[in-house]
Amino acid sequence: MTASYDVAVIGSGPAGEGAAMKLCKQGKRVAMIEMQAQVGGNCTHKGTIPSKALRHSVQLLADYRRHPLFAQTASAIEATWPKLLRSTEQAIAQQVDMRHRYYLRNHVALYHGSARFEDAHTLSITDDHGKVSRLHADNIVIATGSRPYRPPGVNFDHPMIVDSDTVLELDRTPRRVTIFGAGVIGCEYASIFANLDMKVNLVNTRDRLLSFLDDEITDALSYHLRDQGVVILHNEALDAVVEEDSGVVLRLKSGKEVRSDLLLWANGRSGNTETLALEACGLSADARGQIPVNDRFQTAVPNIFAVGDVVGPPALASASYDQGRFVGQIISKGEAGWKLIEEVPTGIYTSPEISSLGRTESELTAQHVPYEVGRAEFKNLARAQIDGHKVGILKLLFHRETRQLLGIHCFGEQASEIVHIGQAIMAQPGTANSINYFSETTFNYPTMAEAYRVAALYGLNRIR
User: Could you tell me if 144 and 310 are in contact, meaning their C-beta atoms sit under 8 angstroms apart?
Assistant: yes
Q: Choose among 272, 434, 458: nearest CA to 374.
A: 458
- One digit per residue, pLDDT tens: the chain, 464 residues? 789 999 999 999 999 999 999 999 999 999 999 999 999 999 999 999 999 999 999 998 888 887 777 767 766 677 899 999 999 999 999 999 999 999 999 999 999 999 999 999 999 999 999 999 999 999 999 999 999 999 998 999 999 999 999 999 999 999 999 999 999 999 999 999 999 999 999 999 999 999 999 999 999 999 999 999 999 999 999 999 999 888 899 999 999 999 999 999 999 999 999 999 999 999 999 999 999 999 999 999 999 999 999 999 999 999 999 999 999 999 999 988 888 988 899 999 999 999 999 999 999 999 999 999 999 999 999 999 999 999 999 999 999 999 999 999 999 999 999 999 999 999 999 989 999 999 999 999 999 999 999 999 999 999 97
Residue 342 maps to a domain: no
Are 363 and 262 found together in one domain?
no
Angular region, 255: left φ>0, alpha ψ -120 to 50, beta rest: left
Domain end (from 245, 267, 289): 267
Are 66 and 193 found together in one domain?
no
pLDDT at residue 191, as a whole number: 96
pLDDT at residue 294, as a whole number: 95
Helix count and strand count (H, E) for the chain: 13, 22
Domain membership of residue 6 as a residue range: 2-148+270-333
**Secondary structure element (H or E) that encloses residue 358, with its range:** strand 354-358
Are 254 and 117 found together in one domain?
no
**Secondary structure element (H or E) that encloses residue 377, with its range:** strand 371-377
Binding site residues, as ranges? 52, 144-146, 181-188, 268, 309
CA dihedral 201, 164, 393, 320 (to 10 degrees): 150
d(CA 432, CA 446): 26
pLDDT at residue 76, as a whole number: 66
3-state secondary structure of 361: helix
Residue 154 maps to a domain: no
User: Could you tell me if 442 and 357 are in contact, meaning their C-beta atoms sit under 8 angstroms apart?
Assistant: no
Classify the C-alpha dihedral 218-224-227-228 as positive or negative: negative
Are 120 and 179 found together in one domain?
no
CA dihedral 378, 380, 383, 389 (to 10 degrees): 40
Q: Residue 254: give its domain's CATH number.
A: 3.50.50.60
* Upper half-sphere CA count for residue 379 (Cβ side, 13 Å): 1
Residue 208 maps to a domain: yes
Q: Which of the 8 DSSP states describes residue 1?
A: -
Are 279 and 263 found together in one domain?
no
Question: What pTM does this model have?
Answer: 0.94
Residue 346 maps to a domain: no
Are 281 and 261 found together in one domain?
no
pLDDT at residue 63, as a whole number: 84
Q: Residue 413: give its domain's CATH number.
A: 3.30.390.30
Are 28 and 78 found together in one domain?
yes
**Secondary structure element (H or E) that encloses residue 5, with its range:** strand 2-10
Beta bridge partners, 105, equal none
Binding site residues for NAD(+), as ranges? 181-188, 268
Residue 200 maps to a domain: yes
Are 366 and 437 found together in one domain?
yes
Are 274 and 263 found together in one domain?
no
Are 218 and 316 found together in one domain?
no
Amino acid at 367: Q
Domain end (from 212, 238, 267): 267
d(CA 426, CA 408): 9
The answer for residues whose C-beta is within 8 angstroms of residue 252's C-beta and 6 or more apart is: 203, 233, 236, 237, 238, 239, 258
pLDDT at residue 71, as a whole number: 67
Residue 345 maps to a domain: no
Are 274 and 131 found together in one domain?
yes
Binding site residues for FAD, as ranges? 52, 144-146, 309
Number of domains in the chain: 3
